Structure 1
Amino acid sequence: MEWVVLLAVLLMTVLCLLKVNVILSILISTIAAGLMSGLGFTDSVKLMVAGMGDSANTALSYILLGAFAVAINYTGITKILVNFIIRILTGKKTIMLFALAGVACLSQNLVPVHIAFIPILIPPLLKLFDQMRMDRRAVAVALTFGLKAPYIMIPVGFGLVFQDLILKGVNSNGAEITLHEVTLSMLIPGAGMIVGLLIGILFTYRKDKDPKDTVKENKIKPEDLVEEVTFNKQHLMTIIAIILALIVQIITQDLILGALTGIIAMFVLVALPFKVLDRVMTEGISMMATISFIILVAAGFANVLQKTGAIGELVEVSISMLGDNKPLTAFVLLLLGLIITIGIGTSFGTIPIIAALFVPICLAAGFSPLATASLIGTAGALGDAGSPASDSTLGPTSGLNADGKHDHIWGTCVPTFIHYNIPLFIFGWIAAMVL
């Protein structure tokens, strides 16, 4: 019985690596866990559905944020940003990379549009990247940093969703912690990502790199790359809607209310005509539906593992094997988190699974609630960068491969795995030791 958890997680990981749909992989693994624990098909599904309710808030948040992102994109305000980058940063390779990382950071917290900005911002810049002989792996590293680091360290936007998942995972499994303490627990692991970004941009990918299928072309004039856009009243109303959404989100600590405020404000302020509302909602749901359902099904998976008693028995075995050896325990838990998230491809979907497993082990080993939260958050974040199925890698590739010159695995997954998972692992282990 104690090996049910490991076998179920291994099955889920293998299915994901074999490119079986993530949701189907989790569903199959959930039913397998129930069957191995002595439950029937019906009881396994009932337990899974019962556990999905706890993550409904998170799923709805993603749907509304997707709609908000689509609404912002409809106004064309991002084209102004493209113009600025081309005109001001042409020829300034390092500064441009840091600027792209900064823009990606804003997409997670201040303007929570997630990866929706990448297919708009990056393709117009590809010819400029080639002319500057920029290594596209450096761009992938910069973008992935912005898609991950903010939600790890800052409890706003997607960061609020991520840290709230950690908070619920810790508090519902026998420990007590506040959202503020969760934020503090993730600062050290987040610092590891900053180190990875600096190494990638300043050292690993600093050299000039000729683009694939290089041909001699006349130098491209920056002004020829994008369409001219003049700042107008529609853009001003969009900025006001974004500010209102951020204010409501911070005051209420509720991402649903923040996103809903932004969407309503966009139409009340006539940043968008009311007739496109249905299209905005439909495209928003389409954009974020997959990750929302992954979170729901993952929560159901965690519930089956908890209610069957398999986790309890695995905890007892783990405690007897690891004892109170904190360094070894932290290492093993982080390694397990890396394997799970590489398979699932989402930090958010991993948290409900590993929290139920990690908290009892951490309490038995003598870790503080801060250290426990740090281990859960780091283990969840590990593998998001580098996973072929992760938004943090699929997003950058969608923009960088618009002209067919960028490889998803070797151009995005491998570089981001090296530059973020290794420092995250090291800094997460340090955080567990010192907090």
Structure 2
Amino acid sequence: MNAVVASVVIMLLLSLCRIHVVVALIIGAISGGLIAGLSLEATIEAFNNGLGGGATVALSYATLGAFAVAIGKSGLAHALADRALALVGRQTDASAVNGVRFLIIGLLLAIAISSQNILPIHIAFIPLVVPPLLYVMAKLNMDRRLVACVLTFGLITPYMFLPVGFGGIYLNEILLANVSENGVDTDDLRVMSAMALPALGMLLGLLIAVFFSYRGKRDYNLDAIARTERVDASYSPRTLVMALVAIVAAFVVQLWLGSMILGALAGFVLFNLSGVVKWKEADDLFTEGMKMLAMIGFIMIAASGFAEVMRETGDIATLVQSSVATIGDNKPLAALLMLVVGLLITMGIGSSFSTIPIIAALYVPLALEMGFSPLAIVALVGTAGALGDAGSPASDSTLGPTSGLNVDGQHNHIWDTVVPTFLHYNLPLLGFGWLAAMVL
């Protein structure tokens, strides 16, 4: 059995059985290495060599967690909850309440989309914006699985369709560059035309989640949210202004220096200097915040080790070659298998940006031989890379939403984020990506 397929399947099955994702990644990586014929020592060495790739992201999330806790201390969460609850309290009929629900959904969707291009901060906004809204969402009986789907859509669709911000990196610097390096003339290609149908598949998944799958009510423990989010905290105009100043400073530093770590630290230091966070409380608050997002950090570190073992096995190329032997001259089957293989690889690695360089060298020559047009090849490779970003236990597009929705322990990463986003996005993306390859 192919080691990549085996390791991804083992990791996913363990995760679905509620084994912690870090443990599932480690077991999956070791199993894949041994199945590929690597010795235990070589497998562990490859895993260890890959761990450093996730260290920067892990430290970024740890410092961001500390910054988020400081914002909670400022009372900004309480102020937002008070305003939103007042708005909810004024509504007397079901249609008005639904209006507030859609207002929250629209706000989160707009911020998530903007985080990929207008203000490219990726998931950094989630632990700052989402936790203050949990109490209000619980009052409205909003299903957090819906919010997870909304956030994941906003984190993925812009970069796979709009060539600005992170989309400029994914579409121009990674996708078109790798397709071009492997023999396709991309000078006159409109990348948005190639990715329009796959993006439409993502939109279809979002609409199904909003208007069908999770339109019903779901109950959450309000007391647990109140304890976690300091709903009873006091605040003043001064502390609220300082919170807003700290948030702006954190974003400016992050964009200026390109470091989420320094941005979060700048915001936390401002809270200390202003007296919102007392010096004697700073150490405990920082530790509390690091704990809040520590899980994401460890998962990203383990995922980097997992990806390195997969590369070391050499079975990614074998997986593609074995698929070629099955294809023959069947173009529809070729397109489908290339997309499914891309899904498997990204589900394991957890990053679309890291998947494209791996698969482009294998897919482009095959697609050219099969007679796919340049536009279809770009759509195939771009969709194959994006497949699995939603629905991967190790992707920051799923870890980010969980970090904001699970601060009170009432949102399971696998069953409330990973499974819903996998079903609502990977399945339509698979279908619309295949259609794009056939019609372009």
TM-score (norm 1): 0.71
2: CA distance, partners of 1:415 / 1:307: 31
- Indicate how the Cα distance of structure 1 residues 323 and 73 shifts in structure 2: closer, same or farther if over 3 A, else same: farther
- Indicate how the Cα distance of structure 1 residues 425 and 258 shifts in structure 2: closer, same or farther if over 3 A, else same: farther
Matched, 1:277 2:282: yes
* Per-residue deviation, residues 380-400 of structure 1 (Å, max 9, x unmatched): 333259x9x954775687589
Q: CA deviation at 1:45?
A: 1.0
**Equivalent runs, 1:31-46 vs 2, <5 Å:** 31-46=30-45
Q: CA deviation at 1:300?
A: 1.9
Q: CA deviation at 1:236?
A: 0.7
2: CA distance, partners of 1:45 / 1:25: 15
Task: Choose which of 308, 318, 321 in structure 1 pairs with 2:323.
Answer: 318
- Indicate how the Cα distance of structure 1 residues 15 and 234 shifts in structure 2: closer, same or farther if over 3 A, else same: same
Task: Choose which of 125, 140, 143 in structure 2 pairs with 1:129.
Answer: 140
1: CA distance, partners of 2:408 / 2:291: 22
Task: Choose which of 229, 233, 246 in structure 2 pairs with 1:241.
Answer: 246
Partner residue, 1:371: 379
Gaps of 5+ in 1: 131-135, 213-225
* Aligned 8 A contact 1:123 1:400 in 2: no
* Aligned 8 A contact 2:239 2:276 in 1: yes
Partner-residue secondary structure (3-state), 1:114: helix
**Equivalent runs, 1:394-405 vs 2, <5 Å:** 398=406
Task: Choose which of 301, 306, 321 in structure 2 pairs with 1:296.
Answer: 301
Partner-residue secondary structure (3-state), 1:122: helix
Partner residue, 2:225: none
- Indicate how the Cα distance of structure 1 residues 125 and 32 shifts in structure 2: closer, same or farther if over 3 A, else same: closer
2: CA distance, partners of 1:196 / 1:188: 13
**Equivalent runs, 1:148-187 vs 2, <5 Å:** 148-153=152-157
- Indicate how the Cα distance of structure 1 residues 86 and 59 shifts in structure 2: closer, same or farther if over 3 A, else same: same
2: CA distance, partners of 1:276 / 1:161: 37
Q: CA deviation at 1:170?
A: 6.3
2: CA distance, partners of 1:185 / 1:294: 33
- Indicate how the Cα distance of structure 1 residues 65 and 171 shifts in structure 2: closer, same or farther if over 3 A, else same: farther
Q: CA deviation at 1:263?
A: 2.7
* Aligned 8 A contact 1:27 1:301 in 2: yes
Partner-residue secondary structure (3-state), 1:380: coil
* Per-residue deviation, residues 274-321 of structure 1 (Å, max 9, x unmatched): 333322332232222222222222222222222332223223223343
- Indicate how the Cα distance of structure 1 residues 339 and 310 shifts in structure 2: closer, same or farther if over 3 A, else same: closer
* Aligned 8 A contact 2:11 2:24 in 1: yes
Number of residue pairs aligned between Structure 1 and Structure 2: 397
Partner-residue secondary structure (3-state), 2:102: helix
Q: CA deviation at 1:118?
A: 4.9
Partner residue, 2:85: 86
* Per-residue deviation, residues 11-66 of structure 1 (Å, max 9, x unmatched): 22222223222222221222222223332211211111112223333222222222
2: CA distance, partners of 1:244 / 1:430: 45
**Equivalent runs, 1:18-417 vs 2, <5 Å:** 18-89=17-88, 90=91, 91=93, 92-105=96-109, 106=111, 109=115, 112-114=124-126, 118=130, 120-123=132-135, 125-126=137-138, 128-129=139-140, 136-137=142-143, 140-141=145-146, 143-153=147-157, 189=198, 191-202=200-211, 231-322=236-327, 327-336=332-341, 349-351=350-352, 354-355=355-356, 358-364=359-365, 365-366=367-368, 371=379, 374-384=382-392, 391=399, 398=406
- Aligned-residue Cα RMSD (Å) equals 4.6
* Aligned 8 A contact 1:4 1:36 in 2: yes
2: CA distance, partners of 1:293 / 1:300: 11
Q: CA deviation at 1:430?
A: 5.3
Q: CA deviation at 1:233?
A: 1.0
Q: CA deviation at 1:239?
A: 0.8
* Per-residue deviation, residues 347-382 of structure 1 (Å, max 9, x unmatched): x83547755653333323246785366325531333
- Indicate how the Cα distance of structure 1 residues 205 and 287 shifts in structure 2: closer, same or farther if over 3 A, else same: closer
2: CA distance, partners of 1:282 / 1:407: 23
Partner residue, 1:8: 7
Letter in 2 for 1:375: T
* Aligned 8 A contact 1:115 1:147 in 2: no
2: CA distance, partners of 1:4 / 1:319: 17
* Aligned 8 A contact 1:382 1:424 in 2: no
TM-score (norm 2): 0.70
Q: CA deviation at 1:104?
A: 3.5
Letter in 2 for 1:53: G
Q: CA deviation at 1:116?
A: 6.6
Q: CA deviation at 1:77?
A: 0.4
Partner-residue secondary structure (3-state), 2:38: coil
1: CA distance, partners of 2:267 / 2:283: 16
2: CA distance, partners of 1:176 / 1:265: 46
- Indicate how the Cα distance of structure 1 residues 175 and 246 shifts in structure 2: closer, same or farther if over 3 A, else same: farther
2: CA distance, partners of 1:326 / 1:193: 24
- Indicate how the Cα distance of structure 1 residues 339 and 319 shifts in structure 2: closer, same or farther if over 3 A, else same: closer
Q: CA deviation at 1:432?
A: 6.0
* Aligned 8 A contact 1:169 1:355 in 2: yes
Partner residue, 2:185: none
The percentage of aligned residue pairs carrying the same residue is 32
Letter in 2 for 1:86: L
